[in-house]
Amino acid sequence: MQMLDGHVVLITGGGSGLGLGLARYFRNEGAQLAIMEIAEEKLAELKAEFGDEVLLVQGDVTRLDDLTACRSAVLERYGRLDALVGAQGVFDGNVPLKQIPTENIPALFDELFRTNVLGYILPVRVFIDVLDENDGAVVLTSSVAAYAADGGGLFYTATKGAVVSLVKQLAFEFAPRVRVNSVAPAAFANSQLRGPKALGMQGWKQSDIPKDAFVESFKQLAPLQELPTPEDYAPLYAFLASRHNKVMTGTTVLAEQGVLNRAVLTATGVVDHV
């Protein structure tokens, strides 16, 4: 039996990067799948890959009208929803606060919190009654940046910390019918998180970081040396989204290849082994 047999799952931000990896894995695990994506070009690519087997909805997760239209499309196609998975996000370019022009800060704050936080809260509100009817699940995306410095800049880090907190609150509010959890990934290959418009970085993506330098830096920090792909995180999301999960709610699964358990004294040679 596949993990998601008999499950209808909606993935927001499923057009590239992490969301696309989740979509591919969920489909192979038997899910009936819907994807909400804002970019037309990504929807065209999804159509080419999945054909008519996956419901594709164009829309902005921060616009109530778009979410309401998505809800109608999901219910018309499938008649139910068992899991809502949030995978969209905007990165802040890891720009230190002192280097951000003061006049840009309000727009940067609004942009990141709108997509990374409101963009999770609004879909949950729109779909919660449907999820409640089916003893469903919500799975959101936080980050290792919520737990340690330098996983992003101040604004990205703050949004991902907010996700950890809202997961706890929503799990409390929606119990016992709807389970609410999140996954906090660290690095992965081919991340498509774009930079913020507020800093003129909307054409930049995390995957633009030179690969060799990124992998070398990752290996210096991570006890698990292989740089994961989006699909490598997908089994965690699939379990949390499935009815097989009967034990976890209000939890953020920290999936960071051990980078928070990194060598300090040993790596520098300060302490010799005896």
Query: What does DSSP say about strands 179-185 and 252-255: parallel, antiparallel, or unpaired?
Result: parallel
Nearest-5° Cα angle at 188, 178 to 266:
110
Identify the burial level of 103 via C-beta atoms within 10 angstroms of its C-beta, where 0-12 means exposed, 13-18 middle and 19 or more buried.
exposed
Containing 234, the helix (H) or strand (E) segment is: helix 230-241
- The Cα–Cα gap between 139 and 144 comes to 16
Q: For residue 166, give the nearest of 110, 123, 117, 111 by alpha carbon.
A: 117
Q: Of 25, 120, 156, 233, which residue is the catalytic one?
A: 156
Q: How far is CA 250 from the centre of its chain?
A: 16
**78 given a catalytic annotation:** no
Cite the DSSP H helix spans in 94-229.
105-113, 119-133, 154-174, 211-221
Whether the CB-CB separation of 156 and 91 falls below 8 Å is answered with yes
**Residue 271 CB-density burial (10 A; 0-12 exposed, 13-18 middle, 19+ buried):** exposed
Q: Report, as residue numbers or ranges, the catalytic residues.
A: 156
